[in-house]
Amino acid sequence: MLFPTIDFAIFFAVVFTGSWLLSARPSPWKLFTLASSYVFYAWWQWRFVGLLLLATGMAHLGASAVYRYADQPRLKRASLWLSVGALLAVLAYFKYYGFFAVNLDNLAQAMGLGQIAPLIQPTLPIAISFFTFMAISYVIDVSRGSLLPASPIDLAVYLAFFPHLVAGPIVRGAELLPQLRRRRDPNGIDFTRAGYLILGGLFKKVVISSYLASAIVDPVFASPSSHSAIDVLVAAWAYACQIYCDFSGYTDIAIGLALLLGIKFPVNFDSPYTARTLQEFWRRWHITLSRWLRDYLYIPLGGNHGSRGETSRNIALTMVLGGLWHGANWTFLIWGLMHGLGQVLGHLRRGRLSARGLLIPAGPLTSIRQRFLTFQFVCLAWIFFRATSLSNAQALLSRLGSGWSTPSSVSIWVLVLIVGVLSVQYLRLEKLEGILNRLAAVPLAVQALGIAFGLFVITTLGPSGVAPFIYYRF
């Protein structure tokens, strides 16, 4: 079920009413929320509800075991590895098996060994990367002692709660589980903030992201040879804005829906294109994934506690695996590698400057230059992320080098939207809070009119059919 559909609006109206009617009775509320979430998931792929249950069962057994064996380090470690390994094995089978089997068989064939791995292409269940990562973080947090094991029903609701289920944010157990146990205030809904987030998210997705996709990104990426170098350049910028509006739009809607149900999610985006370095970019982009990678991959690998070489290796490996998290494709691997190597170079440069005492706060001009260069590098990497194959990426890059004499077909609206999306990122958060406060003070009847007008603008400006969110694929 897609968020921007009438189906979902009806579904949510029913769930919202049921959820608050049952809010004083924790057990029925949890069962209702769980059933609603499974219906939401089954609407897409009913066959894979069993997989969600399996992940929940594995996380429950794993967390129970590591908690039970807290005083027996070997058993605890074995339980942890077993449960995390089982969760990763399921993810690997569905997401990476086909890719590795083909490459392994081709390698074996080249070495004269024949076919080694059976060629199967499993259907990728929606949301598997998200609920698997949440399940893994839950087991590891229990193992680290930062979280107590939850009851099976609490854990099931935590993993399946529909606002975050399909494309995040990747919420930690410590963030959501206590909220499931606490009684929510039926008179304390931050309606203005929720409405702003949902309408804003819909506008970003339905209007901006859809327009940029159909007006420039899809045509240019589909056929680089028929477009000019300027088209390719603008398409890369436009894709940066498209994926930001698409993914942050989804997250805004998810956060808004959860708020209406009395649940708070962590933020997932913080003006990423204002970043001055790649390291800063990753503290602002898909925040809940990058902190997951930091806490459950980068730090266990050794983080920045080893030598400079070890730290560089850890950064590069984390980013490459982060790239592969998005899918089994060489394009994602290169995208991750670019970000990894970019961060390593930045890390080494900062280390060198720091050792010489030259690391001083950047002036305004330096800051502008850093932001510009970081954005261009991110856009260059987005070309690999969006490309359908390495040859597609290569065609785009070669067009960027050779297509300067071809006339451009970029429309003024594409440029206006790109400038608009980038400019909004520089708005200060306090100003937004001020706007929200003023909106909250508006009479409720006017707020209802505002909702109607906002939806009308979105449906009028948007296309009739809305493409699924980009991150649904991951």
- Which residues 36-75 are close enough to bind other proteins by CB under 8 A? none
> Do residues 100 and 328 touch, judged by C-beta distance below 8 A?
yes
Query: Does 191 sit near other proteins (CB under 8 A)?
Result: yes
Binder of other proteins out of 290, 326, 344, 346 (CB under 8 A):
290
Binder of other proteins out of 11, 16, 67, 377 (CB under 8 A):
16
User: Would you give the DSSP letter of residue 214?
Assistant: I
Question: What is the Cα–Cα distance from 374 to 271, expressed in whole angstroms?
Answer: 13
Angle, helix 330-355 to helix 390-402, in steps of 10 degrees = 60
Binder of other proteins out of 164, 276, 284, 326 (CB under 8 A):
284
Report the site for other proteins in 79-108 (rule: CB under 8 A): 98, 102, 105-106
Candidate ranges 26-34, 36-44, 206-214, 354-362; the one touching other proteins (CB under 8 A): 206-214
Which of left, alpha, beta for 123 (phi over 0: left; psi -120 to 50: alpha)?
beta
- Give the active site residue among 286, 326, 339, 347: 326
Candidate ranges 81-89, 136-144, 154-162, 436-444; the one touching other proteins (CB under 8 A): 436-444
Query: Does 463 sit near other proteins (CB under 8 A)?
Result: yes
Binding mask 121-160 for other proteins (x = CB under 8 A): xxxx------------------------------------
Q: How far is the CB of 296 from other proteins (least distance, A)?
A: 12
User: Would you give the DSSP letter of residue 273?
Assistant: G
Report the site for other proteins in 293-352 (rule: CB under 8 A): 294, 298, 303-304
List, in sequence order, every beta strand (DSSP E) within 238-361: none
> Do residues 184 and 23 touch, judged by C-beta distance below 8 A?
yes
Candidate ranges 75-83, 115-123, 130-138, 201-209; the one touching other proteins (CB under 8 A): 115-123
Binder of other proteins out of 207, 232, 233, 260 (CB under 8 A):
260
Q: How far is the CB of 37 from other proteins (least distance, A)?
A: 19
Question: What is the Cα–Cα distance from 356 to 433, expressed in whole angstroms?
Answer: 42
Residue with tokens 């997951």, as numbered in its chain: 292
Distance (Å) of CA 199 to CA 47, 50, 220, 399, 455: 32, 33, 29, 38, 7
Measured from the CB atom, the residue of 173 and 195 that comes closer to other proteins is 195
Measured from the CB atom, the residue of 71 and 185 that comes closer to other proteins is 185
Candidate ranges 63-71, 157-165, 290-298, 353-361; the one touching other proteins (CB under 8 A): 290-298
Residue with tokens 């893994």, as numbered in its chain: 136
Q: Is 326 a catalytic residue?
A: yes
Q: How far is the CB of 38 from other proteins (least distance, A)?
A: 20
> Residue by residue, what is the 3-state secondary structure of 99-123?
HHHHHHHHHHHHCCCCCCCCCCCCC
- Give the phi and the psi of residue 50 in degrees, each rounded to 5: -60, -35
